[in-house]
């Protein structure tokens, strides 16, 4: 059985209270035990990050990048091990966790390369003999709070840019994926000077709260629920520190009358059912033109029936369990609501008895759903799709935009004018044509509009805007 502890100031720190991590595919199996930190450990971690900040910043971006390159190589050497652990800990199929581990490697290498890029601009001054320019300076100690659904990639796409731009970090992973975080730290943490990359395990209500309230934390990067993200925004605003919050989504695919239906069906099912629908960019709504409705529903029903639901360690499994009993009950409750609000096409609230003690949910599709219904408005975070019919592009865009979220949306069409109109008018941060709603390349900015995100972007060059401040310099003769 695996054991996990916090990593503070270059050493592993034992904690008093311990929590078992269970396998959501077989709840009786204990994957490991983690020690839960408290406010004392948070204070120690932040103090270590504060002490390490000056020398880490002065080390310079090229040297910091070399360390990130080495971290990438270490993670790469253990991709299969990390993938298996993540699958056992949070239930994502092994093919997906392996891809996620490789993405973590690619993220580290991308930001290692950023250490070779210039960080400012030379600006003409009114006095021709004055040298005027801008440079970028790090914030200081940064709190990073990550979710359980991407336990390998999200910590890296937050931590790597924070480190390359000269910040130190205190990372708090979600309770349900703490073992995966611990194993990553075991592989790479000794590369960094003590205090640069700290890891604290614990509950959001204690460790997370202590982190965001700590007076020495100068930036907060969070991915998780809308409720917690809104609280973090309030705290950070009151404290006057930078924050970024990536929260919920209720993402839609529009299928026009001229769409390639086979391509659309494949993208909808992948976007909705991969990771059991437990990602903020998952496809949750299908908005189909009347002329394409019957054919689309028929093909989706047929393809959903072929999905293999099973143990996430089986390489042939397409759909694994949801992460916990609480999530299982929440999704089933929404399916019961859907059975009142729409017409059940596939799946439903009754789960096969032979699935044992795992938190498996059938891939579920509802049709004839009203845009204002709960299953069309609220984030479910499970393998559930609500389909609704429209008569025009204007109506489709109105439905796409008629929710509190604005993360991702896509349209399937062969008409360039239709595609460009949709791209212009969809109120989302990520818009795609003839592709699924889920996923974005690591070199591209990631984030949403409205209630999905705060006013910043993650990944790519956009990360520099959050993890640094601009300093304007004028040197007069």
Secondary structure (DSSP) of 130-192: -EEEEEEEE-SEEEEE--SSSTTHHHHHHHHHHHHTT-EEEEE--GGGHHHHHHHHHHHGGGS
Give the C-alpha separation, 108 to 163, whole Å: 10
Alpha helix stretches (DSSP H) within 60-137: 61-77, 79-90, 94-114
Helix-helix angle 61-77:94-114, to 10 degrees: 160
Q: Are 155 and 177 in contact (CB under 8 A)?
A: no
User: What is the distance in angstroms between the CA of the first residue and the CA of the last residue of the chain?
Assistant: 67
pLDDT of 16 reads 77
Secondary structure (DSSP) of 10-38: TEEE--SSEEEEEETTEEEEEEEEEEPP-
pLDDT confidence of 430, banded at 50, 70, 90? Answer: very high
* pLDDT(116) > 90: yes
Kindly tell me the burial class for residue 305, based on how many C-beta atoms sit within 10 Å of its own C-beta (0-12, 13-18, 19 or more). exposed
| The pairing of beta strand 405-406 with beta strand 449-450 | antiparallel
Give the C-alpha separation, 2 to 417, whole Å: 55
Closest CA to 85 of 29, 156, 7: 29
Q: What is the mean pLDDT of residues 342-361?
A: 83
**How high is the mean pLDDT of the chain?**
96
Helix-helix angle 61-77:153-164, to 10 degrees: 160
pLDDT of 41 reads 97
Kindly tell me the burial class for residue 389, based on how many C-beta atoms sit within 10 Å of its own C-beta (0-12, 13-18, 19 or more). buried
Composition of the chain by helix, strand, coil, percent to 5:
45, 25, 35
Catalytic residue among 246, 341, 379, 458: 246
- 280 belongs to the catalytic site: yes
Long-range (24+ apart) CB contacts under 8 A made by 188-191 are 188/70, 188/71, 188/74, 188/75, 189/7, 189/10, 190/10, 191/67, 191/70, 191/71, 191/74
* More confident of the two residues 90 and 15: 90
pLDDT of 333 reads 97
Report yes or no on whether pTM surpasses 0.85: yes
Q: Domains along the chain?
A: 2-247+453-475 (3.40.605.10), 251-442 (3.40.309.10)
* Helices then strands, each counted (H, E), the chain: 15, 21
pLDDT confidence of 221, banded at 50, 70, 90? Answer: very high
SS3 254: strand
* pLDDT(15) > 90: no
Catalytic residue among 89, 114, 280, 379: 280
Which positions ≥6 away from 285 have C-beta within 8 Å? 250, 251, 252, 253, 376, 385, 386, 387, 388, 399
* pLDDT(356) > 80: no
pLDDT of 242 reads 98
| The pairing of beta strand 26-35 with beta strand 251-255 | unpaired
Q: Are 168 and 47 in contact (CB under 8 A)?
A: no
SS3 289: strand
- 246 belongs to the catalytic site: yes
Could you give the dihedral angle defined by the CA atoms of residues 182, 107, 283 and 414, in that order, rounded to the nearest 10 degrees? -170
pLDDT tens track for 159-169:
999 999 999 99
Vertex 209 angle, CA 203 and 14, to 5°: 45
Q: What is the mean pLDDT of residues 220-228?
A: 96
Q: Which two three-digit tokens encode residue 129? A: 């003999």
* pLDDT(188) > 90: yes
* pLDDT(354) > 70: no
pLDDT of 233 reads 97
Q: Which residues on neighbouring strands pair with residue 21, listed in sequence order?
A: 32
Give the C-alpha separation, 70 to 67, whole Å: 5
Q: Which residues on neighbouring strands pair with residue 108, listed in sequence order?
A: none
């Amino acid at each position: 059985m695996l054991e996990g502890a916090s990593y503070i100031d270059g050493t592993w720190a034992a904690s008093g209270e311990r929590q078992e991590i269970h396998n959501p595919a077989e709840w009786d199996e204990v994957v490991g035990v983690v020690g839960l930190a408290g406010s004392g450990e948070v204070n120690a971690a932040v103090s270590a990050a504060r002490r390490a900040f000056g020398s880490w910043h002065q080390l310079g971006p090229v040297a910091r990048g070399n360390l990130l390159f080495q971290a990438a190589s270490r993670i790469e050497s253990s991709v299969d091990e990390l993938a298996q652990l993540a699958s056992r800990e949070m239930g994502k199929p092994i093919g997906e966790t392996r891809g996620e581990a490789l993405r973590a490697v690619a993220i580290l290498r991308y930001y290692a390369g950023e250490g070779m890029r210039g960080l400012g601009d030379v600006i003409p001054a009114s006095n021709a003999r004055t040298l005027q320019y801008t440079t970028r300076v790090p914030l200081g100690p940064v709190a990073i709070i990550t979710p359980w659904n991407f336990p390998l990639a999200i910590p890296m796409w937050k931590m790597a840019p924070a480190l390359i731009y000269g910040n130190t970090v205190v990372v708090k992973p979600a309770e349900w994926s703490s073992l995966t975080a611990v194993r990553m730290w075991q592989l790479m943490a000794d590369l960094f000077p003590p205090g640069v990359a700290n890891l604290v395990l614990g509950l959001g209500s204690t460790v997370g709260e202590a982190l965001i309230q700590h007076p020495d934390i100068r930036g907060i990067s969070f991915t998780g629920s809308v409720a917690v993200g809104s609280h973090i925004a309030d705290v950070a605003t009151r404290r006057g520190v930078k924050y970024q919050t990536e929260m919920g989504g209720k993402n839609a695919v529009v299928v026009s009358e001229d769409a390639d239906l086979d391509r659309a069906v494949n993208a909808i099912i992948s976007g909705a059912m991969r990771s059991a629908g437990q990602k903020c960019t998952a496809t949750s709504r299908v908005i189909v033109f009347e002329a394409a409705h019957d054919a689309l529903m028929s093909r989706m029903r047929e393809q959903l029936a072929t999905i293999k639901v099973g143990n996430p360690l089986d390489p042939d499994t397409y759909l694994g369990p949801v992460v916990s009993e609480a999530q299982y009950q929440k999704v089933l409750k929404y399916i019961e609501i859907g059975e009142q609000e729409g017409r059940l096409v596939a799946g439903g609230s009754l789960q096969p008895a032979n699935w044992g003690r795992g938190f498996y949910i059938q891939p579920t599709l509802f049709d004839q759903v009203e845009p204002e219904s709960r299953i069309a408005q609220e984030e479910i975070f499970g393998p559930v799709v609500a389909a609704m019919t429209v008569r025009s592009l204007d109506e489709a865009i109105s439905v796409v935009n008629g929710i509190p979220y604005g993360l991702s949306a896509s349209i399937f069409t062969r008409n360039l004018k239709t595609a460009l109109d949709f791209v212009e008018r969809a109120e989302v941060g990520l818009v795609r044509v003839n592709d699924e709603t889920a996923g974005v390349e690591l070199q591209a900015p990631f984030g949403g509009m409205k209630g999905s995100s705060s006013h910043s972007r993650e990944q790519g060059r956009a990360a520099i805007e959050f993890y640094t401040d601009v300093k304007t310099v004028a040197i007069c003769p």
